[in-house]
Amino acid sequence: MSLTWLYPVSILFLAGFSEEIQQSGVINIGSILSFGTINGRVAKIAMTAAVEDVNSDSSVLGGRKLVLSMHDSNYSGFLDIMGALQYMETDTVAIIGPQTSVMAHVIAHFANELHVPLLSFTALDPSITPFQYPYFIQTAPTDLYQIAAIADMISYFGYREVIAIFTDDDKNRNGITILGDILAERRAKISYKATIPPEPAPIRDHVMEELLNIRMMEPRVIVVNTYTKTGFMVFDIAQNLGMVDKGYVWIATNWLSAAMDATQILPDTANSIQGVLTLRLHIPDSKRKRAFASRWNKLSNGSIGLNTYGLYAYDTVWIIANAVKLFLAHGSTISFSNYSSLNVLGGRVLNLSALSIFDGGQMLLSNIVQTNMRGLTGPIEFNPDRSMKRPAYDILNVIGNGFRQIGYWSNYSGLSVDPPETLYSRQANRSSSNQKLYGVLWPGKTEVKPRGWVFPNNGKRLRIGVPNRVSYKDFVSLDNHTGLIHGYCIDVFLAAIKLLPYAVPHEFILFGDGLKNPSYTELVRMITSNVFDAAVGDIAIVANRTKIVDFTQPYIESGLVVVVPVRKLHSSAWAFLRPFTPSMWGVTAAFFLLVGVVVWILEHRVNNEFRGPLKKQLVTLLWFSFSTMFFAQRENTMSTLGRIVLIIWLFVVLIINSSYTASLTSILTVQQLSSSINGIESLITSNDPIGFQVGSFAENYLREELDIAKSRLVPLGSPEAYADALERRIVAAVVDEQPYIDLFLSKYCKFRVVGQPFTRSGWGFAFPRDSPLAIDMSTAILSLSENGELQKIDDKWLNKSMCGPQPQISQSDQLNLESFWGLFLVCGVAFLIALLVYFWLMFCKFKQHCPETSESSRFGSSYSAHFQRFLSFVDQKEEVTSNRLKRKRTGNSTVCQGKET
């Protein structure tokens, strides 16, 4: 029989019920929680106390009564929905709940349609945004801040890999996803995610299986993001498996602190969580908080303790009460109207037509969002995105049956040992130097920080790729007699492994066909494809490889160098001419003659040794010039200018003699390059072919970085091929890494390195990205270097020189004019200045001694005759000129005619 006639009656009944509520002054709010849970039980007591406190204060609602209806969903999502529909049929102005984020996503849709604010202090999934659910408000900080605090703790202790155990529902899954994103920004990661079926029925066997898998893994940092019942089960099983002991790091979200604050933990459970780190929402101390805590035993009859969720539940009721107070103060009335969109259903299936829209829902929502009050949890305000302002957490270490607080976390200043409220008056500072926590008592009752990573004892060996070289086998090779892989690189690796505080079972696997050196870049790539767990050998640390793997600390320096052949020059009868180029010889000879001429001019008037017949003076000039080379001139200089010129010239001669001697010695004793290549610069500018070792990164470097044509590159596979190519001039130079060249030069003495290494790198062992083993091996390599063991391995394999002491190489056997032109320029300028000064002084004396000659020149006397008289005056000896001047003054002689009268 159809009952559709009942629905209009139902509507009239509800309308009458609404009017009755308005007249009675009752304001209905509802709650949807699972009161069988710890947080549900605590919240029920706290909300009841809050309603009583609101109703006892007539100034809040002006005499109206706040009525709280409680609906127990009993872990059932279906009952959550039914409870919400029930409240929305009975003129409820706001709903507190639901308890889980999963149901918050569902019920928030009803709240959006019917304009009923939905407030929750436990459904804190960050993915529930006000853009999608404008009527849903989280009255406690979202889990985003808790996850950020955990990420900060992991970074603070320096861990790079973590394992996450979480309940597979929206809230916990989203939290772990966010944790992975934050850790990735800090070069850390979640290496394994262990999922657990949602409550109320977690399967113990499933948890056991996941923990057994985790025990076989390398990371020992485990984050548990779940609910109380599941969380304690995880720790109970982990303790039975020996996983809550030294070496492990356990971090639990705030479900653990909430449970321990509210209930008495059994001894067995307490033992299973010793040393665990957890978080608690930070509640600043206040008189109201202490007063409420003192009332709690009476309110709860000692049945359960007070946790932070109880405080947030109490404040949530007051948030609604204050918003309703503001709503009524603006003259608004609480009224509801039919939801017309549901009329199309005709009420034939469900009584949905009974649902009504809260007409004042938008205004009440606005009042809630603009809340600015002080509650038991401290100042209550919302950000524009409706998240709580200044969220903070206590960081706790489980000790005994309680907690030891080791610090705080806030989104304002990160980790701190000072309470967050004391930091808000200071400038925000999240620098690493300001991140501090107190000491932790870790699982196993140790204060030594766990490494967070171990090599698992699961019988699996580390697969290590080793290049199967066909040349330079001193670095790594297979011993055909014993079947073992040995060499310099292998010895370094084994010595480092022995220094690790744990065993590393491993096996070496050859990579390559044994016919040619393999590609080292391909060897490194095979680590990323999980073919190898590591790579050991003469592997250069270069940029394109560090992008895909992590390298250890270099254990030997490396760099590309240029090698060319050298030759020993044989002496000849004309070897003494080789130190100077022809131009240098010519300029030097010219200056020897020039200094003789300059000194002859300066000394001719005052020095008898520079006077006499023309033939004698010419011989004297030449003798004096070239005798200065040996500082053996017998003629003494008497003039000041002459002595100055001679001192400068002798300094020049000293430099020339020293340079000549050094160059001639070098030519007669050292080896010379048989190539014009003297470094990478000249190699690039030449058109000569360039040899490189097969498998080395030199080929890519020359082509990509130095832009050398591929046609110039000649692959060489062995030291013999190197030597043959250089001997036969197939290549002009060989470019390869320094350690290879050192071994090559120790055997072949006719070749040398020219120039400086033009890349700086080293050899290291390769591991997967973010592998803790790479860090531990780096530490071990540094220890080998410090204790001298690395040098002993070097001496064993690499110091095998067969050539003995190597003579010096000369790259340039002649001195050219460019090296001395500055010296000659200074000398020439000094000569010129000396001559100018000398002739100026002579001209002044000439005017003094022959004034009549100067006067006659004004009246047409011949300039040539005048110049001849000047030269005749300069040629005269200084004593003769002085004597004639005296006679002229007595009237007995004529000075300027060149004769006595």
pLDDT per residue over 152-192, tens digit each? 999 999 898 999 999 998 889 999 999 999 999 988 999 99
**Which pair of structure tokens corresponds to residue 455?**
């090599």
Residue 819 pLDDT > 70: yes
Query: What residue type is 687 in one-letter code?
Result: N
pLDDT the model gives residue 527: 95
Burial class (CB in 10 A: 0-12, 13-18, 19+), 813: middle
pTM of the model: 0.69
Average pLDDT over all residues of the chain: 83
Strands 690-693 and 713-716: parallel
Tell me the mean pLDDT in the region 111-130: 91
DSSP state of 211: H
pLDDT the model gives residue 214: 94
Between these two residues, 675 and 70, which has the higher pLDDT value?
70
- The sign of the torsion formed by the CA atoms of 345, 351, 353, 358 equals negative
pLDDT the model gives residue 764: 95
pLDDT the model gives residue 140: 94
Number of C-beta neighbours around residue 502 at 10 A: 14
pLDDT band at 424 (very low <50, low <70, confident <90, very high): confident
How far from chain centre, in Å, is Cα 456?
29
pLDDT the model gives residue 286: 93
CA distance 105 to 68: 23
Residue 346 pLDDT > 50: no
Tell me the mean pLDDT in the region 726-748: 80
Residue 577 pLDDT > 80: no
Residue 200 pLDDT > 70: no
- The sign of the torsion formed by the CA atoms of 856, 860, 864, 867 equals positive
User: By the 8 A CB rule, do 849 and 880 touch?
Assistant: no
CA distance 684 to 678: 11
Tokens 């629905």 -> residue: 7
CA distance 489 to 467: 11
**Which pair of structure tokens corresponds to residue 122?**
């436990």
pLDDT band at 2 (very low <50, low <70, confident <90, very high): very low
User: By the 8 A CB rule, do 766 and 760 touch?
Assistant: no
Closest CA to 33 of 116, 106, 104: 104
Residue 818 pLDDT > 90: no
pLDDT the model gives residue 13: 35
DSSP state of 176: H
Residues of 820-855 as b/e, b for ≥16 C-beta within 10 angstroms?
beeebeebeebbeebbeebeeebeebbeebbeebee
Between these two residues, 820 and 863, which has the higher pLDDT value?
820
User: By the 8 A CB rule, do 408 and 282 touch?
Assistant: yes
pLDDT the model gives residue 628: 74
Half-sphere exposure of 241 (CA within 13 A, CB side): 18
Long-range interactions of 484-487: CB distance < 8 A, separation 24+: 485/510, 487/797
- The 3-state DSSP class for residue 427 equals coil
Residue 438 pLDDT > 80: yes
pLDDT band at 374 (very low <50, low <70, confident <90, very high): very high
- Tens of pLDDT, residue by residue over 38-75, are 999 999 999 999 999 999 998 898 889 999 999 999 88
Lowest-confidence region among 511-525, 643-657, 804-818:
804-818
Lowest-confidence region among 71-75, 148-152, 259-263, 638-642:
638-642
Residue 325 pLDDT > 80: yes
User: By the 8 A CB rule, do 629 and 653 touch?
Assistant: yes
Q: E strands, 262-350, where?
A: 277-281, 336-338
Strands 402-410 and 414-416: antiparallel
Closest CA to 135 of 364, 325, 346: 364
Tell me the mean pLDDT in the region 859-869: 63
User: By the 8 A CB rule, do 45 and 310 touch?
Assistant: yes
pLDDT the model gives residue 900: 38
- The 3-state DSSP class for residue 269 equals helix
